Amino acid sequence: MSLAPPVVETWSRGEQLRGLLTGWMAWVGKGALAVLDQGLISGSNFLTGILLARWLAPEAYGAYGFAFAIFLLLSLVHQALILEPMSVFGPSQYRNCQREYLGSLLWIHGGLALPTAFVLGTAAWVAHEAARSPGLPGALAGVTFAAPCVLLFWLVRRAFYVKLAPQGAAMGALFYSTVVLGGLWVVYQRGVLSPFSVFLLMGLGALAASGLQLFRLRPTMKPRLGNPSLSAVGHEHWDYGRWVLAAAVASWVPWNIQYALLSASSGMAAAGQLRALLNLTLPVAQGLEPLFLLSLPYASGVYSARGVRGVEGLTRRLTVLFTCAAIAYWAVVVALRKPILLFLYAGKYTEIGSLIPWIALASLFRSAGYGPMVALRAVQSPASTFVACCLSGLFALAVGIPVMRALGVSGAVLSIIASSAVVPVAASLMLHRKTSFARQ
């Protein structure tokens, strides 16, 4: 389906041209606002991580990194069960009752948030009683408050995309980023900066931004027995998102489980070093994410039109594209790693400089895996992506536990390299098996 407006045959050539230009300019504007929205959120998160690495002690920064990894795991569950199905069902079967549909999703979000907050709060209490790390209980307590608020913010932002109105999401992102970064500067100047205060700022900023956006969206919160009923929405989201959830959770393990393993074997300061190192991978990962999202519908169209042979050729081109983009980024970072570390961390964490080429290798493996992972989704085999991610996660645990005990942060990097290499290999083998059966 074309995104351009229909051209009426009775229009003059000038009128047809103006109509086409108006339609395309509207979509260009929406695309620019969507990029702005994503850039504000990703940029504020990246800048927050860098500032905390400069301002917090390594032990406190390690506690922040550990708690943030837990938040990322929760966000994957939310993404798989609420946000991704919302992008599919909202503009289609619920397009005529979007306010009621959003109300149902808010109830589901609340139903997930309450037990999540209870589990996180219990974890914070256990960490406080164990008293192994002074910053970890506060970090977990902060995530207990921040996670439901930030995930609510993501939900209402996505509602604007369902309505094809990204300007609402961008305004919310601007408000949130301003509150978090401005508040971060204030608490630092007042000498009360801690992992707890950072997560508290994130939660307050997200809650305030969500309130402003919900005022514009005006969801209908009264549950309905008809379409869309709360139970029907819940079942549809679960049926759609369960494989996405399984693969997302499995993909979280190789790049995040090391925080827990490393803090247990080498202490929170080592976890802080790992977090400072992995900060450098965020620009390339976040930069490739939109390309991944754009490649998926295109690959699905190629599979529909040309079958497995078309997908095989496209997979090779996508793999080269993703890998070359990562190489271009890391060539600069590796070559300038000393001044980059000095600029970002103000003289802290210089000891991780020798590990940057190795984490770059892990990032290249991860980027190379995007090609076959896109293809597996395009040929409608989400279970295969789950298997590839599971193999990577199991490899991370099998390698990570012994090498981190022996080598600390270097062992964590070695574990990430090994587990990241598993994904492109496993995904490529399963794609080859799928396409071989399809040709028979």
Confidence of residue 361 (pLDDT cuts 50, 70, 90): very high
- CA dihedral of residues 254, 255, 256, 262 (deg, nearest 10): 90
pLDDT higher than threshold 90 for residue 365: yes
Highest mean predicted confidence (pLDDT) among 67-81, 143-157, 298-312, 384-398: 143-157
- pLDDT for 282 equals 85
CB count in 10 Å sphere of residue 329: 21
pLDDT number for residue 2: 40
Residue 70 — very low, low, confident or very high, per pLDDT cuts 50/70/90?
confident
Q: How many CB atoms lie within 10 A of CB 339?
A: 9
Region 406-412 average pLDDT: 84
* For residues 174-183, average pLDDT: 93
- Map residue 192 onto helix, strand or coil: coil
Taking the C-alpha atoms of residue 88 and residue 260, their distance in angstroms, rounded to an integer, is 35
Band of pLDDT at residue 3, cut at 50, 70 and 90: very low
CA angle 33, 34, 35 (to 5 degrees): 90
pLDDT over threshold 90, residue 348: no
**Highest mean pLDDT range out of 246-255, 335-344, 431-440?**
335-344
Q: Is 163 helix (H, G, I), strand (E, B) or coil?
A: coil
Average pLDDT of the residues in 216-242:
78
Q: How does residue 133 score in pLDDT terms, banded at 50, 70 and 90?
A: low
Mean pLDDT for the chain overall: 81
Per-residue model confidence (pLDDT) at position 170: 84
Q: pTM for the complete prediction?
A: 0.72
- Report the range of poorest mean pLDDT among 19-28, 81-90, 182-191: 19-28
Q: Is the pLDDT of residue 5 over 50?
A: no
How much is the average pLDDT of 34-47?
80
Instruction: List the end-to-end C-alpha distance of the chain, in Å, as a whole number.
Output: 32
CB 273 within 8 A of CB 409: yes
Whether the Cβ atoms of residue 334 and residue 277 lie closer than 8 Å to each other: no
Where do we find the tokens 């005529």?
96
Predicted local confidence at residue 29, as pLDDT: 62
pLDDT on residue 403: 79
Q: Can you tell me the mean pLDDT for 202-229?
A: 83
Q: What are the phi and psi torsion angles at 192 (to 5°)? A: -115, 25
Q: Which of 22-26, 128-132, 416-420 has the highest mean pLDDT?
A: 416-420
What is the full DSSP assignment across 331-394? HHHHHTHHHHHHHHHTTTTGGGGGGHHHHHHHHHHHHHHHHHHHHHHHTT-HHHHHHHHHHHHH
Q: Lowest mean pLDDT: which of 51-65, 265-279, 350-364, 372-386?
A: 372-386
